[in-house]
């Protein structure tokens, strides 16, 4: 037997042994630590500013209904050296007052360009084709961190004619790619002293243990879990070495533990979403619908001719109550998501009815999952 064939045979034997010893892990998907956790302190910061969009094609704010737009124009012209006589009544159609928002990413430095979102706060019909005038963007502390200006990109269109109109997408908001320039950096510390703190996106003791094991497998004794969310990792003190160390840590793969059984119910839309850990116990369900119909019919009483009487209109109301018969279904318990879905489908209930059924199952103890209504 050749050397290559011997290596292939040995690899096949090792793979078979892994499948036999860990059959459940073959169906689990490993994820990178950067997808499961983030470094404490490394975060975005929200910026906001008030500005003006000019150059609109007659689709700007109606100045009689948005006096702040006129006031902003007067203040801007005054800063540019243009003084208007007192009492001047401006009738503007090509200007709109807007709010400008942006996210300042971590480690952003002065001179870096970031994207901004521009949204109308007046009654402008469209911002398409407009240009945002220089707008300072402030953080929560009131300091200016970026300056925004540029031509907007609005993903929509509108047309009017003959009393008909057509609007495609949303015209009251747009985006300027790279429309703001960072003017001030936000200090971001990569840990304190000789350690860095990783924070899991979802608190879970089992996943925290697996992340610690994955890090310690490569860097023995470097990681320790503080709780179900925080993991402390000893890291080099040199900044360049620490960046390389964190880059390696973030790309380590970990198989997270399965989350707790949960059913999410949106009572407004009737949406029901459940994860694969949801289980049902045997139960019987009967669900019927009650319909109440109210009909109002006008009855006119007409007097005979030359009798001197008056015509009288009376309302006659009729109330009907109809209830469909609810058949009693025997719902068998399921051990996996496919069996649960099959059992619920036997009821033939609509999504809105399914919300009530799940709530009743939870109250009866037949639904082995956490029920969350949003």
What pLDDT, in 10s, does the model give residues 109-145?
999 999 999 999 988 888 988 999 999 999 999 999 9
CA distances from 148 to 115, 176, 215 (A): 9, 9, 42
**pLDDT higher at 202 or 268:** 202
What pLDDT, in 10s, does the model give residues 66-116?
888 888 888 888 888 888 887 777 888 899 999 999 999 989 999 999 999
Is pLDDT of 247 > 60? Answer: yes
pLDDT at 266: 81
pTM: 0.69
Q: Residue 27: pLDDT band by 50, 70, 90 thresholds?
A: very low
What pLDDT, in 10s, does the model give residues 306-361?
676 777 777 665 656 555 555 556 666 666 667 777 777 776 767 777 777 778 87
For residue 134, how far is the Cα from the chain centroid? 30
Query: Dihedrals φ, ψ of 297, to 5°?
Result: -125, 130
**What average pLDDT does range 173-190 have in this prediction?**
90
Backbone φ/ψ region at 79: left (φ over 0), alpha (ψ -120 to 50), beta? alpha
- Rounded distance, CA 94 to CA 89, Å? 15
- Rounded distance, CA 31 to CA 37, Å? 10
Which of 33-37, 169-173, 238-242, 286-290 has the least mean pLDDT?
Answer: 286-290
Residue whose pair of structure tokens reads 């979802």 in the numeric block: 202
Residue whose pair of structure tokens reads 């960046």 in the numeric block: 243
Backbone φ/ψ region at 85: left (φ over 0), alpha (ψ -120 to 50), beta? beta
């Amino acid at each position: 037997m050749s050397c290559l064939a011997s290596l292939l045979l040995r690899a096949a034997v090792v793979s078979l042994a892994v499948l036999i010893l860990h059959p459940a892990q073959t169906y689990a998907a490993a994820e990178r630590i950067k997808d499961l956790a983030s470094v404490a302190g490394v975060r975005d910061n929200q910026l906001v500013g008030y500005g003006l969009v000019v150059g609109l094609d007659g689709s700007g704010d109606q100045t009689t209904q948005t006096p702040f737009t006129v006031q902003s124009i007067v203040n801007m012209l005054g800063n540019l050296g243009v003084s208007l006589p007192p009492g001047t009544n401006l009738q503007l159609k090509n200007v709109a007052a807007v709010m400008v928002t942006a996210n300042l990413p971590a480690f952003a430095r002065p001179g870096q360009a970031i994207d901004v979102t521009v949204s109308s706060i007046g009654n402008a019909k469209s911002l398409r084709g407009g240009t945002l005038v220089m707008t300072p963007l402030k953080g929560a502390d009131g300091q200016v961190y970026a300056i925004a200006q540029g031509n907007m990109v609005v993903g929509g269109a509108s047309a009017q004619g003959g009393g008909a109109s057509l609007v495609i997408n949303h015209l009251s908001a747009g985006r300027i790619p790279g429309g703001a320039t960072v003017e001030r950096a936000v200090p971001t510390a990569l840990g304190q002293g000789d350690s860095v703190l990783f924070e899991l996106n979802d608190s879970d003791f089992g996943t925290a243990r697996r992340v610690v094991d994955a890090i310690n497998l490569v860097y023995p004794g470097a990681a320790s879990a503080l709780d179900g969310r925080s993991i402390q990792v000893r890291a080099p003190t040199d900044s360049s070495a620490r960046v390389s160390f964190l880059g390696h840590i973030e790309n380590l793969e970990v198989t997270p533990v399965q989350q707790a059984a949960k059913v999410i119910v949106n009572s407004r839309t009737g949406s029901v979403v459940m994860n694969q850990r949801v289980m049902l116990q045997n139960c019987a369900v009967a669900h019927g619908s009650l319909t109440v119909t109210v009909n109002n019919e006008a009855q006119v009483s007409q007097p005979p001719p030359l009798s001197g009487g008056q015509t009288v209109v009376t309302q006659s109301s009729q109330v009907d109550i109809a209830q469909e018969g609810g058949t009693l279904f025997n719902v068998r318990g399921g051990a996996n998501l496919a069996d649960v879905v099959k059992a619920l489908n036997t009821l033939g209930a609509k999504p809105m009815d399914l919300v009530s059924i799940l709530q009743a199952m939870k109250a009866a103890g037949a639904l082995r999952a956490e029920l969350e209504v949003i």
